[in-house]
Amino acid sequence: MGKPSLDEFRKWLQSEIREIESLEVGPNVDKRLLQLEMALQEAMAFNAAWNIRTEASITPVIQEKAVRLLSPSPEINNDSGPKGICGSCEAEIEDDLPFCPVCGDNR
């Protein structure tokens, strides 16, 4: 299968958004929807930035190791649910996620 492409990531996000939008409205649904929409925007921004750099013959710089988020979201420490730590990048992962949202590592 190989590694998923950016395009597949975008398709996945869009299908997640469609699925979430069919659910009843609630604070958790809103939060998840916002996360997905921000991720989608970020994926498109990354795609645009990458294209600009390659067109200008600049090698896009990719960090070898995932960087810890500098400003964790305010709700990260309020015990909203059980959290795990990613073995690869040490990011906090919600226990219901089968993969690390920061580096994509399977748990």
Residues binding Zn ion (CB under 5 A): 86, 88-89, 91, 100, 102-103, 105
Phi, psi of 53 (to 5 degrees): -70, -45
Query: Closest separation between CB of residue 69 and Zn ion, Å?
Result: 11
* Other residues' Cβ atoms within 10 Å of the Cβ of residue 66: 16
Query: Closest separation between CB of residue 87 and Zn ion, Å?
Result: 7
Nearer to Zn ion, 29 or 101 (CB): 101
Interatomic CA distance for residues 107 and 50, integer angstroms: 28
Q: Is 77 helix (H, G, I), strand (E, B) or coil?
A: helix
Nearer to Zn ion, 58 or 62 (CB): 62
Nearer to Zn ion, 51 or 99 (CB): 99
Interatomic CA distance for residues 90 and 98, integer angstroms: 15
Query: Closest separation between CB of residue 44 and Zn ion, Å?
Result: 22
Nearer to Zn ion, 45 or 97 (CB): 97
Query: Closest separation between CB of residue 5 and Zn ion, Å?
Result: 19
Angle among Cα 9, 32, 64 to the nearest 5 degrees reads 45
